[in-house]
Structure 1
Amino acid sequence: MKSNRASLEEIRGFFAKRMAAVSKSRDPRLERIFELVPREAFLGPGPWQVWVRDRNYLETPSADPVYLYENSLVALDGAKGINNGEPFLHAAWIGAVSPQRGEMITHIGAGTGYYTAILSLLALPGGRVTAFELDAQLAERARHNLRPFESVEVVNADATRASLTASDIVYVSAGVSAPPVGWLKALKPGGRLIFPWRPSEEIGLTLLVRAEATGFSVEPLAPSWFIPCIGASREIVASWVPKTPAEARSIRSLRTTATTPPDETAIAVYPEVWFSSQPLER
């Protein structure tokens, strides 16, 4: 008897359509790339652990990859709370930074490389991705998974201390209190930095930073919650942070303390950078 269940190809294709829709991107390549890159190839053998809440996981009923084509977090290292990130969130981020052909991309917190692979294909032809992963085991898995993607280099290192290659996009998949100045310096003119900002336990917000002619503009996007980025989160002591999500969403620019002292427009102040409610002068 013929099964009425959709094939894996159909299920992956519908997943790709949803990802493209959530991204709000006009790039026609995005849907096709999400359709072509199999999520299961980056997650190891199933069954898989799917995140429910408060770091609790449920095991998929079998190793059938259909269970992976939902908007769900899947454990990479459940004991450490490290997951393959929420697909709809990453689709929205990719749409926001809009990778273009030939661009240089730095991915910080690559995990086992699934979203790295997506970014690398969007940068072709001519572009490259340097993927940083601090966890040695995850970095090795990423190297293995990304071997078919010739435009990717995986680096097992602390990206908060490393010297980044000049980048059109810096894409950060770990919670950040304050971006290191080195990340800002790595941005080419017109470059984009996207990261999950965690000024406090109560606030988690995606920030999109653009390198403009007059400084760094900031656009707050949707809420986001990631595990901390070692070297750029709890280790950085702020002298001022926003008290409410509404105050956090009022940020319009990012400045360095070395060039511009914090003033009355400051929303959050850290040793090297501060966030302002004042837009950049045009």
Structure 2
Amino acid sequence: MQIMRGSEFSDVLPTIMLMRAKKVIFLGYAKDVKGYRLWCIEDSKFVISMDVTFNEKSMIAKAPKDNGVGTVGTTKSQVIKIEPKDQPENKRTGPNGKSDFVTEPIPESSWRSVWPRFLDEGAGKLILEPFGGKMSEISESETPFAYRAGYLYNVNYYVDWIDRSEEETRKHMDWICRLYNEMGPYVSKNPRASYVNFRDLDLGSNIDEGSLSSRYSNAKIWGERYFKGNFERLAKVKGRVDPSDFFRNEQSIPSLVEEEIVEDNKGKVEGESSSHQNLLSNMF
């Protein structure tokens, strides 16, 4: 495992981890890939990784004005020139992740059927994160994260690979999808919940066309798997601060504007009223 770090992490990471860590700058989320897009200062190149520890006490300096060449502000006055050749290829490569939530203990016999999967070629990792304690004392509607009381642990399925060939990509993706499907009977249902920090584009993605309400209806397919009943509330908040849904990505919260909801309901009522009138006229 290669550990990336922000700046000055001697007070955060153990010494043994600092020896293997590299200082990077967070640039955002990689497109069509599960991971953070980072600039490695030591190697002077872009990397995509999820093995990152952030130093939230350290802030990056304000970026200088654009002089025609793309720049990224760094600590002190350092400027990194980003050339087109440095950009990673636009292909779906590792890392890739999926997730589940467990509400009932999984039988030992079921786990025994899962373990052999980790001997397969292209096998990845299975991470179990326990819940309970203080988390269960917080109402599921108090924060966007809704998986509180009644959830035993979170399951993360993770694969990572470097070879960008189609064969290698298919091998790793087949492994994680097969394991995810086999775990289906043992995890949460209606909906099958997912952890938002393991963004899974296989669940669906935003559409660019149509009204805001139709975009919201499309996004509910995956949004409620991340946030349960909190998804609608988040969309309404987004509708207040960004009513045109300008800031978005494949699985960003869509904007749900109250006025459009009223108009949609008005159209439904008018349509029902018209059908009732036609029915009455045919009766007499």
Alignment TM-score > 0.5, same fold? no
TM-score, normalization by structure 1: 0.26
Structure holding more helix per residue = 2
Larger relative contact order, structure 1 or 2 (CA cutoff 8 Å, min sep 6): 2
TM-score, normalization by structure 2: 0.26
The structure whose Rg is larger is 2
